[in-house]
Amino acid sequence: QYDAAADHFKKALDSYTQEGQVPENMKARFLTAEQSYMEALMDGGRFADAINFATSRIKADPLEQTTMGPLIAHKVEQLSATDEKSAKDLLDRASKMTPPLDEKYRQRLERVADQFPKKTSSSETGIERQSASAKD
């Protein structure tokens, strides 16, 4: 269901662009399709595709931060209440975006990350011990 919706919105986005640019008279429709595409990707668990799309849009136009940032932050917040694994996956991918999300959206993501219990694996402990002993 979400894959079909994402494909539909992607086709709409492609139809609104001409040579990589969105004509002025199509910007409102493009924005609606863009938001719907992101939501369909994230609702379908296609986080890599969603982050790649968001990254490409922000690189093309830094003002896209105001569209992509809230969509990603909201989805992470929503997932944190129902699906911790997916929330962490999307959070991890969003934290590695280049260019990064604006500070206000990163702060929202950090607040969600702080809600999750901190787990220290034995390998992490080993790395910490190695770096601590290397300083001695």
82-97 pLDDT, tens digit each: 999 999 999 999 999 9
Q: In the predicted model, is pLDDT for residue 50 greater than 90? A: yes
- CATH architecture for the domain at 2-135: Alpha Horseshoe (1.25)
| 83 Rama class: left (phi>0) / alpha (psi -120 to 50) / beta | beta
Distance spanning both ends of the chain, measured CA to CA = 57
Per-residue pLDDT of 24-39, as tens digits, reads 887 888 788 889 999 9
The radius of gyration computed from the CA coordinates of the chain, to the nearest angstrom, equals: 18
**Which residues, in sequence order, are CB contacts of 75 under 8 Å at separation 6+?**
39, 42, 90
